[in-house]
Amino acid sequence: MIAGSILVGAAEDNVAEKFVATDPSTGQAIGPEFSSASVDHVERACALADAAFASFSETTLAARAAFLEAIADGIAGLGDDLIARAMAESGLPRARLEGERGRTIGQLRMFAAFVRVGDWLHATIDPAQPERVPLPRPDLRRRHVALGPVAVFGASNFPLAFSVAGGDTASAFAAGCPVVVKGHPAHPGTGELVARAIKAAVTSCGLPEGVFSYLPGPSNALGAALVADPRIKAVGFTGSRGGGLALMQIAAARGEPIPVYAEMSSINPVILFPAALRDRAESIAEGFAQSLTMGAGQFCTNPGLLIAVGGADLDRFAAAAGAALSAIAPATMLTPGIHASFESGVGALEQHGATQLVARGAEGPGLCAARGALFITDADGFRADAALGHEVFGSSAVIVRCRDVEDVAALIAGLEGQLTATLQLDAEDEPLAAKLLPLIERKVGRILANGWPTGVEVCHAMVHGGPFPATSDGRSTSVGTLAIERFLRPVSYQNLPEGLLPAALKPGNPWGIARRVDGALVAGD
């Protein structure tokens, strides 16, 4: 059911101030009208979240996991209604959204399994040493606990996997944090469907209503009020650099500053090594054009920068990439605003004195339809204007022609923080890659070889993060089980009576989790 409501805990609210969803491929409004949440809703949602915290953060592992699985089941149960609505609101094709739904459900189930295992509690016991001299050692036990209520900002580019029940929400719930979602106004129907599935899971699992609230709305003031609320203890955000920086400022200016996990912008450099370029310029170019235009280029990990030593092989690559791009049909972007920004960014590159256009994607019909764009410049031109290193959200990329490998190294050293770096290399290139790797590693959260950065595996070893400004906090990832760490903090218990110890730390290990005792890992049941 899509009623256009605001969900504050168990309550539904509808207000006079409305906004509408738009089909980006037609520009037509899609009903119903949606109520715009206000600061009053922020106040109520945060009060409920705060009240729910003590109970929700101390559920058993089984109860927490069952909740995550109930959400997964609820989203699966929405069936094709969810896909149809998301297609209409986002312009994304069915296959892409079905895949994204699978990923969204999969990561909820992954966190359920991860919660059950309990490693994330970091249960650590240093037993008392009453005989130690000169002073006895007390009994010390540590676990990680939930930070508190978390504000999550849905992203437009993944209306399922990075939105209402996306990775931020899943990992915050897994940690034991109530969540208040600021719904993205570009997909309010999709958001409401998913929000209702979460609300139903809260009810069916017997959890306090404040575990989840959903506040849709188009205004920046709504999000600002949410981040400023003293009961909110952390923020998850995926979106623009400007948006992320604004939230960071609000969070830092609070009476109690809080962590903001903002995934903001990245141009995801691809380094084309000499032997690989010589041996397979054309096939690399084909793979690149596919990755660049996937999902209309609206991936955080879209490859927007290619770096190589200039010469005949790079010319071959550029020609092949241009040819491949020219054959790719345009794709509908998420919103008219995003489409306009893309066109403006591409237009600036077309006018830029230091860049030449290599190719545009094929023409085609449709509002918000974006044609890919590939440019080339040289390293000095790239360095001379920082704007050339800024993300143009969408399928736009720049090839940077370097003088030699030293110039490649210098270019990498001058980059801002990125989510990913891709190495296109052959065995022969490995000595050079080994030299560049320390430079690359300081700039990124993930390094991949002979693949493409679009496509982020949800698993234990994934890092979807990176140094500023790729994210606001390079110590974190927003994808994979490690994402739970963003919403935890350690607490130590010294000489506490057994009856007061949390289950994770009690003698006898009632939860059967792995614990570190005197520094050595003791396996769980």
* Residues 77-106 within binding reach of a second copy (CB under 8 A): 99
| Angstrom distance (rounded) from CA 155 to CA 163 | 5
* 263 given a catalytic annotation: yes
Q: Which of 378, 417, 504, 511 binds a second copy (CB under 8 A)?
A: 417
Q: How many residues bind a second copy (CB under 8 A)?
A: 81
If one asks whether residue 284 binds a second copy (CB under 8 A), the answer comes out as: no
Which 438-467 residues touch a second copy, going by CB under 8 A? 438-439, 441-442, 444-451, 455, 457, 459-463, 465, 467
If one asks whether residue 145 binds a second copy (CB under 8 A), the answer comes out as: yes
What 8-state DSSP symbol labels residue 137? B
Q: Which of 80, 106, 137, 384 binds a second copy (CB under 8 A)?
A: 137
Output the smallest distance, CB 20 to a second copy, in A: 35
CB atoms within 10 A of CB 403: 14
Q: Which of 488, 509, 511, 513 binds a second copy (CB under 8 A)?
A: 488
Output the smallest distance, CB 367 to a second copy, in A: 31
Local structure of 377: helix, strand or coil: strand
How would DSSP label each residue in 23-83?
A: -TTT--EEEEEEEPP-HHHHHHHHHHHHHHHHHHTT--HHHHHHHHHHHHHHHHHTHHHHH
Nearer to a second copy, 312 or 491 (CB): 491
Nearer to a second copy, 60 or 492 (CB): 492
**Alpha helices, DSSP H, located in 327-358:** 336-351
| Angstrom distance (rounded) from CA 166 to CA 173 | 11
- From the number of C-beta atoms within 10 Å of its C-beta (0-12, 13-18, 19+), residue 84 rates as middle
Q: Which of 69, 100, 192, 263 is catalytic?
A: 263
* 300 given a catalytic annotation: yes
If one asks whether residue 230 binds a second copy (CB under 8 A), the answer comes out as: no
Nearer to a second copy, 167 or 310 (CB): 167
On whether the CB atoms of residues 320 and 282 are closer than 8 A, the answer is yes
If one asks whether residue 473 binds a second copy (CB under 8 A), the answer comes out as: yes
Output the smallest distance, CB 67 to a second copy, in A: 19
Output the smallest distance, CB 507 to a second copy, in A: 14
User: Residue 484 region, left (φ>0) first, then alpha (ψ -120 to 50), else beta?
Assistant: alpha
Output the smallest distance, CB 194 to a second copy, in A: 23
Nearer to a second copy, 7 or 436 (CB): 436
Output the smallest distance, CB 324 to a second copy, in A: 21
Nearer to a second copy, 387 or 491 (CB): 491
| Angstrom distance (rounded) from CA 53 to CA 147 | 9
If one asks whether residue 279 binds a second copy (CB under 8 A), the answer comes out as: no
Nearer to a second copy, 29 or 522 (CB): 522
Taking alpha carbons only, the member of 184, 172, 250, 176 closest to residue 214 is 184
Q: Which of 147, 180, 324, 397 binds a second copy (CB under 8 A)?
A: 147
What 8-state DSSP symbol labels residue 386? G
Q: Which of 205, 348, 496, 503 binds a second copy (CB under 8 A)?
A: 496
Measured CA angle at 265 (ends 366, 169), to 5 deg: 90
Which 244-263 residues touch a second copy, going by CB under 8 A? 248, 252, 256-257, 259
If one asks whether residue 54 binds a second copy (CB under 8 A), the answer comes out as: yes
On whether the CB atoms of residues 408 and 402 are closer than 8 A, the answer is yes
| Angstrom distance (rounded) from CA 250 to CA 508 | 45
Local structure of 113: helix, strand or coil: helix
If one asks whether residue 220 binds a second copy (CB under 8 A), the answer comes out as: no
Local structure of 230: helix, strand or coil: coil
Q: Which of 117, 200, 357, 410 binds a second copy (CB under 8 A)?
A: 117
Look at strands 11-13 and 6-8 and give their pairing.
Answer: antiparallel
Catalytic residues: 263, 300
